[in-house]
Amino acid sequence: MSAAASDLILLLIGVGGVLVFASTIGFILQRRLSPDGSNAVIENLNARINAWWVMVILIGLAFIAGRIGVVVLFAFCSFAALREFITLTNTRRADHWALAAAFFVVLPVQYYLIAIEWYGLYSIFIPVYAFLFMPILATLRGDTERFLIRIAEVQWALMICVFCASHVPALLSLDIAGYEGRNVLLIAFLIIVVQLSDVLQYVWGKLFGKTKIAPRLSPSKTVEGFVGGVASATLIGASLWWITPFTPLQAGLLAFVIAIMGFFGGLVMSAIKRDRGVKDWGYLIGGHGGLIDRLDSVVFSAPVFFHIVRFWWSAT
For the residues of 76-125, what is the DSSP string, one character each? HHHHHHHHHHHTTS---GGGHHHHHHIIIIIHHHHHHHHHTT-HHHHTTI
Task: Kindly report, residue by residue over 122-152, the tens digit of the pLDDT.
Answer: 999 999 999 999 999 989 888 888 899 999 9
Residue 285 pLDDT > 60: no
Query: Predicted confidence band at 253 (pLDDT cuts at 50, 70, 90)?
Result: very high
Closest by alpha carbon to 7, among 171, 184, 168?
Answer: 184
Query: Predicted confidence band at 282 (pLDDT cuts at 50, 70, 90)?
Result: low
Closest by alpha carbon to 64, among 17, 6, 16, 150?
Answer: 6
Cross-strand bridge partners of residue 176: 314
Residue range 105-126: average pLDDT?
96
Query: Predicted confidence band at 288 (pLDDT cuts at 50, 70, 90)?
Result: low
pLDDT of res. 72: 93
Residue range 230-257: average pLDDT?
96
pLDDT of res. 176: 93
Kindly state the percentage of the chain with pLDDT values over 90: 46
Per domain, the residue ranges of the chain are: 1-65, 69-173, 180-316
Query: How far is residue 205's CA from residue 268's CA, in Å, rounded to a whole number?
Result: 19
